[in-house]
Amino acid sequence: MTKENDGVFVHAPVIQRCTFSRSLQGDEAREVYKEVKAMVAKDFKNVPAFSQYFEFDEERGLIKGSNTFYGIVANEVLSKSGLWIPTIVEAKQLDAAKKLSNGVYRDFGIAVYDESNPNKEIAQKLIAEANKRGWQTPILLPFKALKLKKGGSPYGVSVLFKDDTQEIMTGDEARTYLKEQFNYVYNKGAHWLSRGGDG
C-alpha cells in the first residue's frame, strides 16, 4: 500500500499462472487407466478404435500402449482434475529440459497434412473443418484440442476439433516447427506426434 494525499491506494499483487509437470505413475496412473477404460466401455463400447493395446503395468506402475483415440480420452479424464497430456510444444520443452526419460514411448497429438493415407478417415474430417476456418496445412493438434464423436468412420469414432483452438499450429508456423523440432517428418495424411522410447 502507498499513502498519498491522505488517500490510501492498494496495489493488487501480480499473480501469474504457473504450469508444472509431473510423471503419471503408481496409484494415480492406475486410477486414470481405470477411468479411461470405464469411459470407453460406457461411451464407445465395441468401437474398433479402442481395440489396440492399452494396459496397466502393475510392476512398473505405468500405462502401456496408446493411440490417438486413447490419448484423447485420457486427456479428457485428466482434464477433470485440471491436468492434461503435454501439448506438442510443452513436450518438446520437457524433452529439451531432460525431463522425459527413455524406455517409454510417448505421443502428444497428431499432425495432419492432407486428406490422403495414412489415417485418411481422421485427416478428411479435420481438413474439411480446417478449410472452413481458413487454416493452411500442416496442422499440429495436441490431444487437448481434440474430441471424439461416435460413428462417422471405419474406426467407429470421428476425431473433431474442440472449441478451444489456442494450442493448434497451422501452415507456415507448423511447417517451420516440424522442421526445427522433429527428427522424422512426413508429408501426407495424419500422423502421431511422438517421442520414441530411445529419445
Structure-model confidence comparison of residues 103 and 152, the more confident one: 152
* pLDDT of 2: 41
Structure-model confidence comparison of residues 35 and 102, the more confident one: 35
* pLDDT of 9: 54
Tens digit of each residue's pLDDT (9 = 90 or more) over 60-91: 999 998 899 999 999 999 999 999 999 999 98
Residues of the chain with pLDDT > 90: what percent? 66
Structure-model confidence comparison of residues 103 and 179, the more confident one: 179
pLDDT at 3 over 50: no
Average pLDDT, the chain: 88
**Strand pairing class (169-170; 55-57):** unpaired
* pLDDT of 18: 62
* pLDDT of 144: 94
* pLDDT of 112: 97
pLDDT at 187 over 50: yes
Q: Which three cell numbers stand for residue 12?
A: 493488487
pLDDT band at 196 (very low <50, low <70, confident <90, very high): confident
Q: Which three cell numbers stand for residue 38?
A: 470405464
Please name which of 83, 82, 77, 85 lies closest in space to residue 32, comparing C-alpha atoms. Answer: 77
CA separation for the pair 73, 113 (Å, rounded): 23
CA separation for the pair 145, 140 (Å, rounded): 10
Span 140-159, mean pLDDT? 94
Span 116-130, mean pLDDT? 95
pLDDT band at 1 (very low <50, low <70, confident <90, very high): very low
CA separation for the pair 16, 1 (Å, rounded): 20
pLDDT band at 118 (very low <50, low <70, confident <90, very high): very high
What's the N-to-C CA distance of the chain in angstroms? Answer: 51
